[in-house]
Structure 1
């Protein structure tokens, strides 16, 4: 990257396919894809990027959401990508929307996305634990970042994921092949230490430095009605859809938070039609 910092990514699909930027969830490295069995048939070039401080990407102390968008803009330029679309999963959502607000993407899909939890509209809707997290970031972001760094353990993350999963999600996460891939991606992301995850969590728990109303590209929001995660959108994306000028919300009744993998074909095909 300009300045000598390294940014790591992985990709699947044909080199001349439609580029789709993937912003993965919390503490997850670039190796965990979705729909990788579909990309050749759909003509998708899927690129998953390690955010700074995670996996193979060098740290960028003090970075913000728009700084990540600037990194992606450099990646797009250096790799000569055109007409880039994007997908954000869980905590990757604010990073994806920062890219959309910066004009990098032509269309986007939010999947089980973390909403702007610090927005006043959610003040009464959050669980006590999430309220405490948001308040800690608001009152002393540096102290909150140090606190989050104490949770940067891949095994502990996996146990928290299982604890929040119910019904259809638990069936996905406990599949031996999927569990192995997911846990490998977490170990990969946290190999440099917990600082990257801690910074991500501060940024995802604070007010966003852009207004969703300034995002002019189409955005599809995908939520599973059986999702029990307290850190995804409290209203399954309804508020965020209302704040985005060109949004369409899909609430899938038989899905949970893992619908990125159970409904990958629908998500990618809809994104390509945009």
Structure 2
């Protein structure tokens, strides 16, 4: 299990038109088909996945530090829409073609936002957070999650100010471990993987908690992208043994019903860490959409 993660092969940054820095980590062939990775909550792009599979598949993974996380400058008014604008600049500046994307956990709405603006040819949503305010999802939420959403809806500014004073990378790591089932804890508690995950969290909080909390507010609110209008292929991957309360409570069933072009896989033996335990399957299926293009 220790070969599931490796340090970034390259780290890069660019200056956006408004002067901010956008940073990311890379693995794979520099000339490979680009896969934009949207990491989970509070994480920098330091923790990638599938590094051992990328060369064989002809892929290049770019794990982006969202604004305010890692080495990317904060956006004073970050939204899912501003994230799309930043990513469009990255794609255009580097002349990226046939771009794919993967969203893990809280990274899911960021990947959906890219698909909604047709910046990518296909996406994979892995252990993804659902649109938690959707009427079919709200009744299924854990009370703690429902309470946070209610607080965001009541006063997002107050929530952001208060939560930014409390959130820490250590606290988020304890929360992740506490929500994880046995199969996930075996991986997360392993020395190499655990250290890598915690380094991504430490980097994610290196500018403070504001970047993470702003992501919470944005993803716990109504999303600007209408999933029913996304026409690119969307692969949904969930583990049936995933016990996280912040991932999709019905393992993507409602998401699959809302998306016009969805593939839905629930592996009963896997947990929320399916991103790493089935990385080759996830990347192979995602790459297949590029192979079908004229």
TM-score range (shorter-chain normalised) is over 0.9
Uncovered stretches (5+) of structure 2, i.e. residues with no partner: 1-15, 290-294
Please give the alpha-carbon distance, in whole angstroms, between the structure 2 residues aligned to 1:39 and 1:128.
40
**1:1-274 equivalence runs, <5 A:** 1-274=16-289
Please give the alpha-carbon distance, in whole angstroms, between the structure 1 residues aligned to 2:18 and 2:207.
20
2:201 is paired with a residue whose SS is: helix
Please give the alpha-carbon distance, in whole angstroms, between the structure 2 residues aligned to 1:181 and 1:138.
34
Q: Across the two proteins, how many residue pairs are aligned to each other?
A: 274
- Specify the alignment match of 2:12 in structure 1: none
Shift of 1:123: 2.3
Shift of 1:121: 1.7
Shift of 1:141: 0.8
Shift of 1:120: 1.7
Structure 1 stretches of 4+ with a deviation exceeding 2 A read none
Q: CA RMSD in A?
A: 0.8
Please give the alpha-carbon distance, in whole angstroms, between the structure 1 residues aligned to 2:110 and 2:159.
19
TM-score for the superposition, normalised by structure 1: 0.98
Question: Please, which moves more after superposition, 141-150 or 263-272?
Answer: 141-150
TM-score for the superposition, normalised by structure 2: 0.92
